[in-house]
Amino acid sequence: MDRFIDLLLHISHGELKDCGDYFQIDHIDQSVSLLWKNQSSNTKIDGCDGDLEDVYLAYDGCDLFSSGFKIASQAIIKKIGDVEIIPTLLELKDIQIAEKVVFPSDTIPFMLEMGNWLYGYSKQRKTYYKWDIEYHELGQEYHSLEEIFLDWKEAINE
């Protein structure tokens, strides 16, 4: 297994299944995570490094903890049947513009949480930013994906 799957299983234990184009984790808390395998030879995303780059090298879009988090795909919307599951990076950029999200200038939006928060990553600052779409304000800053998911797990367990 890779470090990202190990992290997800640490957050919520479960069973990993290979479903062809994607992996599925059936977590013990009854949530499901879907990780689309990266089939592209063009896996480099400008503005990514560290653990986010590792995710994009292995996966092209992730629906985590029953849509609690959606990591955007590089270019193609991910579907199961006719149901759109994962947006693209371009769609998240459109959300950033439409919602007047103010991230530091080099930050790329890459993930949604529950449709209420948009996350961006700044390679220059090595920082993840969380934007509250409803209240139009910058929230917490993080230094790893693990920190984001552990903070979320702690909040839902309170």
Q: What is the pLDDT of residues 111-138, one digit of tens each?
A: 999 989 999 999 899 999 999 999 999 9
- What is the H or E stretch that residue 56 is in? helix 50-58
Q: State the average pLDDT over residues 65-76.
A: 93
Average pLDDT, the chain: 91
What does the alpha-carbon distance between residue 154 and residue 46 come to, in Å, rounded to a whole number?
31
pLDDT on residue 157: 80
Q: What is the pLDDT of residues 16-64, one digit of tens each?
A: 999 999 999 999 999 999 999 998 755 566 666 678 988 988 999 999 9
Backbone angles phi, psi at 45, to 5 degrees: -115, 120
Please tell me whether residue 82 adopts helix, strand or coil conformation.
coil
Instruction: List CB contacts of 80: < 8 A, sequence separation 6 or more.
Output: 34
Q: Is the dihedral of CA 6, 10, 16, 20 positive or negative?
A: negative
Rg for the chain, CA atoms, rounded: 15
Question: Any idea where the domains of the chain sit in the sequence?
Answer: 3-156
Q: Is 67 exposed, middle or buried (0-12, 13-18, 19+ CB in 10 A)?
A: middle
pLDDT on residue 42: 59
Note the pTM of the prediction, 2 decimals: 0.93
The angle at the Cα of 9, spanning 139 to 132, to the nearest 5 degrees, equals: 15
Backbone angles phi, psi at 133, to 5 degrees: -65, -40
By C-alpha distance, which of 124, 12, 143 is closest to 69? 12
Give the model's confidence band at 1: pLDDT under 50 very low, under 70 low, under 90 confident, else very high: low
